[in-house]
Structures are given as C-alpha cells and as structure tokens.
Structure 1
Amino acid sequence: MQSCAGALACALALAGCGPLHTTVPDLVHDTPTDWQARNAAAGGLAPDLERWWRAFNDPVLDELIERALKDNLNVRIAGERLQAARAVRHAQRSAFWPNLNFRTYVETAPNARTGYLEVGLDSIWEFGLFGRDTGNNRINLADENLAIIDEVAARVSVTAEVARNYIELRAAQARAQVLDDTVATRRRQVELAQKRLALRLGTQLELDRAQADLQQALGDAAEPGLTVTQTMQALAVLLGTTTPDPSLRNVAPSPQLPAIDFRQTPADLVRTRADIRRAEQNVLHAAGELGIARADLWPKLGLAGTFISSTALTGDFTFQNDFVPIAGPSITIPLVDWGARRSIANARERALHASTLAYREAVIEGVAEAQTALAQFDAKSALAQNAQKTLELNQRSAKSAQTMQRIGLGDGLDTASAELAASQARLARNLAERDRSLAYIALYKAFGGTIPPLAKDAKNEGLP
C-alpha cells in the first residue's frame, strides 16, 4: 500500500513540471477596415443578410426557398449530422466521470482444482489530468460547431441555388418572348423582300439574306426552351423531388432587383463565411488534439474499485461465499514508448500551427472573393443601367419608324429594322438584368450568411 501511495505521490509531483494546459492561439483577423470596391447606389435598399432574397419581391421565389429549406435532402442530411454530433458530445461529457459496471466472469484457482463464478460491481474513475479533459472537451466542442456550420452552409448554398435557377428560368422565359418577336419580324422581312423582288424593286441577294436571318432567328429561339427545362429540373432536385413544378412553366415577369446600397456593410462581415468559421473550429480541434498528446506524456491517474462475490462451481464446494471490496489508485506511466508519444505531441504542435495559418488563408481568400463579388455586382449594375437606356432609345426609334411608315415617309423594311434593333436591345437588357441578379446572389453567397450562436463549454471556451 505504501508503494502505491509513493507512486501516486511521485506522479503528482511530476505533474507539477508538466504542461497542464494548452492554450488556443489568438486568431489574427486579417479583414480590412473597408471594402475597396464600393457600390455607389446611395439611397438604395439596405442589405439584409438573413433574408436577402426578399429584395426581389417575388412571392414565388419566397415560397420556393421556404420549401427548399424544409425539403432539400442536403439540408436534412446536415441537420441529422448536427443532431448526431450533439449526441456524441453529450455522451463524451461523461468520459472522465466515475462509472459503475455490473459483470460476471469465471476464474480458476491456481491449482486448477476449483472454479469460481464471480459476480459483482466494478468502477474505474480516470481523473483526466494534465489537460486531457480539456483537450477532449475542445475536440467534441469543435465537432459540434463544425456540424452547426455545415448545416448553415447547406442552407446558404441551397438558398443561393434556388434563387439562381429561378432567375435563370424567368430570364429564359422572357428571352423566349423576345426571340419569338424577332422571328415574327424576320418573317415580315422575308415577305417584304419577296414582294420587292416580284416588283423588281429588290434583288435575290436581299431575299437570300432575309431568309438566312430568319433561319438564324429560328435557331436562336430554340435555346431558351432548353434552359427552361434544365432550370425546372434543377429546382425539382433542390426541392427534394424528381417532378418539376408544372406551375413554373407559366410565364411570369423576371424579378426586378432594386438598387442596393452596400456602403454601410462592414468588411468584417466576411468572417461569417462558412469556410472561415470552419477554419476557426479546426484551430480549436487541433488545440484539443495537442492537449491530449501532451497529456499522454504523463501518467494516467484514477481510482479503481470492485465489490465481488465468488461462488465455487467445481472442486472445493466448502468455499465460503463472501463479498470482497477492493479499492485503490489506478496509475499508468508511459515508459518504453515515451519517445513515440513525444513525437506525436510534436506533430500535433505542427498541426496546430498549420491550422492557424489555414485560418489566415481562409480569411484572405474570403475577403478577396467578397471584394471581387462586390466589384462584379457594381459592374453588372452599371451594365444593366446602360442596357436600359439603350432599350429606351431603340424603342423610341421603333416608334418613330412606325410613325414615318404610317404617314408614308418610310417603308416596312425601315420599320422592321428598327423593331429588330429594339428587340435586340430588349434581349441585351434581359441578359444584363439576369447577370446583375446573379451577381447579387453570388455577392451574398460570398458574404457567407448568418451563423447562429455556436456551442460553448461549461467554461465558456470556444472561438467567437
């Protein structure tokens, strides 16, 4: 008994010289104080990070996103994994609590003449000293938070994909209308060229060109139909079904995105990105692994006890049944493999340093992507404004050509050419508005979306 007490005292003395705590490194927030690219839409709609798609003011889009967040399989998978991570963390909280087990087993006396049935209770209580308990808690905390982040990331991705495919769908439907009008105008041009040729006012070359333009217009008019089919099928997958919603085939106006003012949006907002939050938790996870590796360099201390009764099954049946309690310290000291454990601890230190660098890299890449997305949105907004002005000018020209034809100062070819120019301007405006909307979606995806409060342990430890 004295030797056990001496060993325990020696182990505790060594603990005073060992690393009892592994600190989580302070993470440098390399986010700029302001964005380099600035949206100049002063007085525009204030950005809403949580419900950003509401800016389109489209009830159908709102309903699709609500359905997707409820029925999308990737979102549901992420939710199940989050519940699993929470259950595992709850179970791991008792890793260093005392346990009590009931068991039965058989033993044979050394002379092999008597067999015993032993029935009783046993308990082992590891103290989790030298930072082992803290390291275990950090790993499980990081795993739960990673599951939270992955669930949010799935929602952000699904929301963006629903919005993107819906915008593509409505833009394709609007494009189909414009191209159908172009086909009708090209047919009129062919008819006029045929009449001019019959009256010897035109040439065969003019007719051939008109017919070639008609064939080109017919080919172009087939493209939106394929996009409609593809986007409807993509929306069906996002909604967790194989059957596209037939109501989406009903032509509806493209959502109109108002002016958005990002001037007051802080650049630090980019830290809500899922990849940056994952990198934060990877640092916490690596710190936990390092803490356990360092704890493995030192003795495992605890208490063990049994309370058993032995009954003779064979041999000497005169053996008296009795309950025997046994309790004492439990000590495990690494000896021969200490060098291997030291190598593992060194490797964990390197892994922790690598995770801090990976966090900085994630922040730098996230800021760059957000800066690019904001500049892209600014550029697409300017192009959309120019396309709208060009459309207005071409529509005015088309009306003037119709008026000139009506009063006899112009012919049908001039009117058709002006209408074609207006149709091309409508098509360009449609594509510009689509691209601006897609840039808006990409911008919010680059921002990352709101992350709910992450889990913390009893000591309120965890990265913000």
Structure 2
Amino acid sequence: MASRPVHQARLLGLRLLPIALAAFLTACASVPLPSTTELPTAVPTQWSAGAATAATAPTELAAWWQRFDDPALVALLTQALDANTSVKSAQAALRQARALAEVQQAGLGPSLSLSGSAQRSDTGSTDAYNTFKASGSASWEPDLFGGNGASANASETDAQASAASLSNVQVSLAAEVAASYINLRSLQTRLAIARNNLATQAETLQITRWRAQAGLASSLDVEQAVSAAEQTQAQIPTLQSSVDQSLNALAVLTGQVPGALKSTLGNAAPIPPAPADLALAFPADTLRQRPDVRAAELKVRSALSRVAMADAARYPSFSLSGSLGLSSLTLGALTDGASVVRSLLASVSVPLFDGGAAKAQVRAQEAALDQARAAYQEAVLTALQEVEDALVAIQGDGERLVRLQAAATAAANAELLARQRYESGLIDFATVLTAQRTLLSAQDSVATTQASLSTDHVRLYKALGGGWSPDATPR
C-alpha cells in the first residue's frame, strides 16, 4: 500500500516537470540584442559653405514650400502628396511591412486552437457506430536563445524602415513638384520675354523698311532686321513646347492625366522668388531630419537582428504543447468525465551536424550587416555633400543674379537709346541689332538664373530633410 502514494508522487512530478521546464526557459528567454554602434564618419559642427544664425527645428521645414508664398505651388504639392502613384505604392509597402511585423510578433506567444469532429464507421458485419470528438490544443516555443525575438525585432525594424522610405518618397516628390513648377514659370517668363522682344524687333523692322523706301537705309539693314526677328520667332515654338511638356509632367506628378492643368496653370505667372531668409539646420540635425539616413540606420539595426537570429539557430530549440479533448460514441456522452483525453508534451531539438550551414548563415548575415553599415555611411556622406552643394549653388546664383539684373537694366537702356538714335539717323542699324540681341540674351539669362536660385533653395530644403518630421509616423 505504501507504494501507491510513491507512484502518485512520481506521476505528479512527471506532470509538473514540463511546467517547471517552461518556467526555467521563460526566465532565460529574454536575451538583449546588440545595439548599433557609431559609424566612423566625422560629422562637422557647421557647414563650410554657409552658417546659420540659429538652428532650424525639423518641424519648421516640414512644409518648406509655404516659404515661397505661392498658393498654386501649395495646391500642387497637396494634390501630389495625396494622389501620386509612387506615394501610394510606398504606402502599400508600409502596410505590408507592418502586417508582417505583427505576424512575427504574434509568433512569440502561445497558440491556441479548437477542433471538433463526428465520424460514422461501418466494417463488414459489425454494426455501424458513431464517434464524436471535441478538443483544444495549445503550443508554445520558448525563446531561449533570442532567435524568435530577433526575428520579430528585424520585422519591426523593417516596418520602421518602410515608414522612413515612405517619408523619403514624399520628400523627393515635394522637391520634384516644386522644381517642375519653378521650371514651368521660368519657361512662361522666357516665352513672354521672347514675345516682347519680337514685338520690338517687328517695330524696328517696319521702321527699317520705311527708311529703305525713303532711301535712308539699305536693303542690307532690312535683311538683317528680318533675320533677327525670324530668329526670335523661332524660339517661341520651342519654349511653348517646353511649357506644354512641363504642364504634362506636373499633371502626372499630381496623379492626373496629361493636359489636366492647362486651364489652371496655362496662364503665365511670375517665378516664385527664393525666400529672403535662409532656413539652415546644423549638420547633426540634418542627419536626424533626413528620412533616407533614418532608413539606412534602421536597416543596420535590422541586419543586427538577423545576425542574432542566425546565431540562435545554431543552438537547441524547445517547445511545449498540450491538448485537452473529449471523445465518445454518443454526442450526449461527451459531457461524461470518462471521455476526457489529455496530453502534455515537452520537446527539444538539437542540431548535431549540418555540414557547416548554420555557421555559414551567420557569416552571410554578418556580411549583410557590413553592407548595411557601408550604405549608412554612404547615406550620411551623401547628405552632407548635398547640403554643401546646395549652399554653394545658392551663393553663386545669388551673386550671378545681381550682376545679370544690372546688365539687363543697362541693356534695356542701351536698346532704347539705339532705336531712338537710329530713327534719328545718328547711328547705323548694326548698333541697333546688337543692342536688341544683347537685351534678349540678358533678360533671358535673368529669368533662367531666378529659376535656378529658387530651385537651389528647393534642393537645399530637400537636402536638409524638409517635407518630413522625424517625430511623425506615416500612416
């Protein structure tokens, strides 16, 4: 009789052994992953091509296009950020990455399932009988060496990188729309300049013909005047074609069919002037603001998690599973205690020999980590270069615009004086022709440089990470 209590104690111990093992594994399951290390990239404390009097907060550059004070530009950017196909594709990729991260996260906890069945059997002369079953099962794989946690961390980091990639698409799109809009206004301005100069040249041609009829000018002067007017006329179709192409490009960027913007943007308007104050963030803030740098950093973290995941695959894995069910020959007997079927299983899987595949997988993930680190360093250096290049371009185009505006003013005065003196017979037609060509070239250069200066500011805001707030999560 004494052996019965001992036997029951052994059974109880066997039943409690998997539970104790699960508790032990749970205590060991939390293994911290390594964190990213600083890359050997020296970030300067200020820009060499320009200095800001005060650092600009990231949120102040989130809607940088409003600094141009152009309602049409703001409306275009709003439409593009909402309807552009690249943005929609990046948004779908972000939703996919987040869903996959939730799948990996769900795998860290236990899984439960319920099932039921009814079966009728008939064998030979044996009377037919029914079998009814209802059961529930549960399973869990303790994350002893952190492999599952590393996989979940990698998926979560991939989702964050997709969010940063979406932001990068939005930043690039905003810069492209603004640059295309500035180019459109520049072409319209140049077209107006060409038409104004053509009108002036047509008046000069008429005066030259009158003077030739009166014997005060030669046929050479008339032919030179005709040549100058025709050359200016030849520029108009080219400029008009470029205007139409810019309108089509803007329509596609805003998710519309080509030609949809002719009614709203077809009329000429001034080139958006560059903002008077230069919004400039410090280098370290710029790297934090830029979504492409943020995405590259997150890819490094994801690669770190995958290294930990590959390393954990070299060690044993454990799992716990159990089931509780009911089985009987009649449906009513399912509630009888005698129909209960239960089981509990603890298992361990130990990799013994795989030909070195697990170690090779670790080396492969480490190589991928090195690639991610190199890409991150390249993103940092590229960001710094883009800001410096934009600052140099702003400084150079700003100085050039001042000189060209002075030259255009002098050319306009010279052209007016030349026409007046030619009409008075004080100078020959060659001087008038030269003055008109100089005026057309100077005014065209002013318009082109104004557009370049505004575009330089667009590139600067893009290089600074404008159009996106690092504290905002895209949805």
User: TM-score range with shorter-chain normalisation?
Assistant: 0.7 to 0.9
1:93 alignment partner, one of 73, 90, 105: 105
Q: 2:90, 2:166 within 8 Å by CA — same for their partners in 1?
A: yes
1:323 alignment partner, one of 334, 340, 344: 340
RMSD between aligned alpha carbons? Answer: 3.8
Give the Cα separation in 1 of the matches to 2:131 and 2:324: 15
Give the Cα separation in 2 of the matches to 1:274 and 1:328: 48
Give the Cα separation in 2 of the matches to 1:417 and 1:195: 20
Structure 1's 33 and 61: CA in aligned 2 closer, same or farther, altered over 3 A? same
Q: CA deviation at 1:86?
A: 2.7
Please name the residue that 1:389 is paired with. 406
Please name the residue that 1:68 is paired with. 80
Query: Bigger shift: 332-341 or 322-331?
Result: 332-341
Structure 1's 338 and 97: CA in aligned 2 closer, same or farther, altered over 3 A? farther
- Residue 453 of structure 1 pairs with residue 471 of structure 2: yes
Q: CA deviation at 1:130?
A: 0.7
Please name the residue that 2:285 is paired with. 269
- Residue 346 of structure 1 pairs with residue 358 of structure 2: no
Q: Secondary structure at the match of 2:356?
A: helix
Q: 1:134, 1:291 within 8 Å by CA — same for their partners in 2?
A: no
Query: Bigger shift: 218-227 or 398-407?
Result: 398-407
Q: CA deviation at 1:443?
A: 1.9
- Residue 26 of structure 1 pairs with residue 50 of structure 2: no
Structure 1's 385 and 366: CA in aligned 2 closer, same or farther, altered over 3 A? same
Q: 1:25, 1:356 within 8 Å by CA — same for their partners in 2?
A: no
Q: Give the TM-score normalised by the residue count of structure 1.
A: 0.83
Structure 1's 404 and 192: CA in aligned 2 closer, same or farther, altered over 3 A? closer
Please name the residue that 1:461 is paired with. none
Give the Cα separation in 1 of the matches to 2:315 and 2:402: 69
Structure 1's 206 and 407: CA in aligned 2 closer, same or farther, altered over 3 A? closer
Q: Secondary structure at the match of 2:277?
A: coil
Give the Cα separation in 1 of the matches to 2:75 and 2:146: 50
The count of residues paired between Structure 1 and Structure 2 equals 443
Structure 1's 192 and 348: CA in aligned 2 closer, same or farther, altered over 3 A? same
- For residues 39-64 of structure 1, the C-alpha deviation after alignment (integer angstroms, 9 at most, x for no partner) is 79x89x99942222122211111122
Q: CA deviation at 1:373?
A: 2.1
- Residue 430 of structure 1 pairs with residue 441 of structure 2: no
- For residues 44-102 of structure 1, the C-alpha deviation after alignment (integer angstroms, 9 at most, x for no partner) is x9994222212221111112212222222322332333233333323432211111111
2:209 alignment partner, one of 188, 191, 194: 194
Report % sequence identity: 26
**Amino acid across the alignment from 1:277:** R
Give the Cα separation in 2 of the matches to 1:88 and 1:291: 19
Give the Cα separation in 2 of the matches to 1:400 and 1:198: 23
Q: How does 1:339-418 map to 2 (within 5 A)?
A: 339-401=356-418, 418=435
Structure 1's 169 and 46: CA in aligned 2 closer, same or farther, altered over 3 A? farther
Q: How does 1:210-221 map to 2 (within 5 A)?
A: 210-221=225-236
**Amino acid across the alignment from 2:80:** A
Give the Cα separation in 2 of the matches to 1:193 and 1:409: 14
Q: Secondary structure at the match of 1:25?
A: coil
- For residues 300-359 of structure 1, the C-alpha deviation after alignment (integer angstroms, 9 at most, x for no partner) is 12311011234569xxxxxx9722111132322212327311211122122223322221
Q: Secondary structure at the match of 2:241?
A: helix
Q: Give the TM-score normalised by the residue count of structure 2.
A: 0.81
Give the Cα separation in 2 of the matches to 1:169 and 1:91: 47
Structure 1's 289 and 193: CA in aligned 2 closer, same or farther, altered over 3 A? same
**Amino acid across the alignment from 1:122:** S
Q: How does 1:43-122 map to 2 (within 5 A)?
A: 48-104=60-116, 118-122=133-137
Q: 2:66, 2:74 within 8 Å by CA — same for their partners in 1?
A: yes
1:177 alignment partner, one of 169, 192, 208: 192
Q: Secondary structure at the match of 1:93?
A: helix
2:308 alignment partner, one of 291, 294, 300: 291
Q: 1:185, 1:416 within 8 Å by CA — same for their partners in 2?
A: no
Please name the residue that 1:134 is paired with. 149
Structure 1's 268 and 237: CA in aligned 2 closer, same or farther, altered over 3 A? same
Give the Cα separation in 1 of the matches to 2:183 and 2:428: 38
- For residues 210-254 of structure 1, the C-alpha deviation after alignment (integer angstroms, 9 at most, x for no partner) is 222222111111122112111111111122111422121122222
Give the Cα separation in 1 of the matches to 2:211 and 2:426: 17
Please name the residue that 1:458 is paired with. none
- For residues 162-219 of structure 1, the C-alpha deviation after alignment (integer angstroms, 9 at most, x for no partner) is 2111111111111111101122222233333333433444333333322222221111
- Residue 37 of structure 1 pairs with residue 53 of structure 2: no
Structure 1's 374 and 117: CA in aligned 2 closer, same or farther, altered over 3 A? farther
